[in-house]
Structure 1
Amino acid sequence: MDSESAHWIAALQDSGIGHDDAVGRLHEMLLRIARSELNRRRGSHGLAGPELDDLAYQAAADAVVSITAKLEDFRGESRFTTWAYKFAILEVSSKLGRHYWTRHPTTSLDAEDWERLPDRFGLRPEEYAGQRDLVCAIRDAVDGSLTVKQRAIFVALVVRGIPLDTLVAQTGSTRNAIYKMMFDARRKLRAALVAGGYLEEDG
């Protein structure tokens, strides 16, 4: 472990005034990281002013809590500041995901969403005769063939276009779990459309 990292760990594990000073310095560092990351992603979240600053403070504070709770996990394979940086970025992603979902609910689809669904689902015009009939068939398949979780993930990724990392942070799931859920959802939907005569069965 490099000397700077060792100093951070020792200070954060100190039971006296050194601990409070280290926590304060850590929070300041993580706050700078959170603000920088939020500014880097400004085009994707539209936050500004007090709301942006509040989210940065929340991310930094939660990152401090996570780091101090996991100090024993630090093995010195990287610098402590590099290790801590990842916690701040993860908290920013989580906070942005929660912010996005509270403003863009994915539990319902309006008419325009349904009209876009064939293209988002990856269906080419030559694969179906009537788009209106296909839209109705997809609506029925989404409602009738998918589980609640599959429907939420499908709508979020395919229809709403929510970034995968945002979805992972918000749901607390993993990339692999969401990939698997999407694979199963698409398989079920395609099977329903084939059964209804809207698509040809693969080879």
Structure 2
Amino acid sequence: MNDALDSLSDPELARLAVRDERAFEVLVTRHAPAVHRLAALNVGPGAADEVVQDVFVAAHRGLRGFRGDAQFSTWLHRITLNACTKTLGRHRPSVPLEDAPEPASAQNLTRAAEVTQLREQLSAALRTLPPEQREAVTLREVSGLEYAEIAALTGAELGTVKSRINRGRAALRAWLTCAGVTPHD
């Protein structure tokens, strides 16, 4: 990557990326890990790569329309959530509670396998939430957005966002407990 491009802000890169592929590559490198995490938790690890590709194709096409009213990362989160919703609509995964994976056994699995399994369980649990709750919870817990940012991004009232997050967290806690995962406070 070009060091000069690496030092530019997201809005500067977005303006350049309309006509300079190298600037767009810097944006992709900078934001792909966060987009992948958000996608994996929403659609599952298996479909996340496809969603990431769809996100950056859509972002590239939409660069001319990016006005900079919101942060580039917030704009990218919206595109990611839209791509996740589209993917979930096509594949419609449903994971009955009785089919939830058993908790990892510390005796016969490595720590990496336990972490992978926990991520898969969390992803499955998130997919059971209504779309509005899943979106609010992932924006808060995965992307680290503030409540007001989530409200602005989703167009929901601040109180509605807080309620969706609280209900989503409660549903996740219940699902994970039934799956044998002990949530920590």
TM range (shorter): 0.3 to 0.5
Task: Calculate the TM-score normalised by the size of structure 2.
Answer: 0.42
> Looking at CA atoms only, which structure, 1 or 2, has the larger radius of gyration?
1
